[in-house]
Amino acid sequence: GASEADGLAFARELSREALATSEHVNEMLDEVSFAAQRLWTSGQRLRLSPARAVELCSLINMAIRSDHPALLRPACAYLCTLNQLLVVQGKRASKAIRWPVQGVTIRGGGLPAEHCAFYESMLGSQTPYRVPGLLATSLEEGVAKQFMLAAEARGEPVVKWIVRVHAGGAADHTLRCRHVNFVTRSHFTEQEFLFAAYAPFRVTKITWGQGYADAPHVIELEACMDSKRESEDLPLAPWY
């Protein structure tokens, strides 16, 4: 784990970043959900070991996966704030938002061999599974490829996730997935389409590749329309 000194230095850098401009300060005062969104995209890293340093987004997901009360309490406070933007309902549901072209958004990363069987078991099943964390995807395939190359550099088998939402959601808000939104306030231009924690998905197709960035495994998912309509006792993805 991180040392106390490293943890305090990480917190200071996040605070400095959050207050770096007048726009950021206004977010902290009047638009807290947007401040939470911008924090999610921070590139600041906390060193957990000599060989590993992680960003805040990874720490949030680690807290969710841990299911430990001491970590979940602060994480849930943050997630409730962020969900004001991610969970689109009520009057806000009809507002124009950026929607994936043809309803397709991409994610790149690694998939250890021991977790492939889980996705095979879910293939074609009418029962969805949930992701125990927030799931970041991108509207730009080039962004996903960067994460695929990073996974390859770590020595992990490379996977490309193709996630589909209803293409008609661009024009008709009643066809939009209720628990995803485009990230508008960001430190980077990753064109991020972010799913709320524990979002449910169905596996529709798997193509096993060679596990390299130029020949990745490809797993295709369908995002369920509304997380609240699905059981709370769905299988949890062991890796995503």
**Cβ burial, residue 45 (10 Å; 0-12/13-18/19+):** middle
pLDDT at residue number 130: 98
pTM across the whole model: 0.92
pLDDT at residue number 99: 93
pLDDT at residue number 90: 52
As a whole number of angstroms, the distance between CA 77 and CA 126 comes to 33
- Contact (Cβ atoms closer than 8 angstroms) between residue 194 and residue 137: yes
pLDDT at residue number 92: 57
Tokens describing residue 106: 């991409």
pLDDT at residue number 1: 80
Q: What is the dihedral of CA 228, 232, 223, 155, to 10 degrees?
A: 150
Picking from 197, 196, 162, the residue whose alpha carbon sits closest to that of residue 179 is: 196
Tokens describing residue 50: 């000599």
pLDDT at residue number 55: 95
> How does DSSP assign 114-149, residue by residue?
GGHHHHHHHBT-SS-EE-SS-EEEES-HHHHHHHHH
- Contact (Cβ atoms closer than 8 angstroms) between residue 177 and residue 225: yes
Tokens describing residue 149: 């190359």
As a whole number of angstroms, the distance between CA 44 and CA 16 comes to 11
Per-residue pLDDT of the chain (240 residues; tens, 9 = 90+): 889 999 999 999 999 998 989 998 998 889 999 999 999 999 999 999 998 999 999 999 999 999 999 999 999 999 999 999 899 765 555 567 889 999 999 999 999 999 999 999 999 899 999 999 999 999 999 999 999 999 999 999 999 999 999 999 988 989 999 999 999 988 887 899 999 999 999 999 999 999 999 999 999 999 999 999 999 999 999 999
Picking from 195, 206, 123, the residue whose alpha carbon sits closest to that of residue 165 is: 195
pLDDT at residue number 62: 95
As a whole number of angstroms, the distance between CA 121 and CA 110 comes to 19
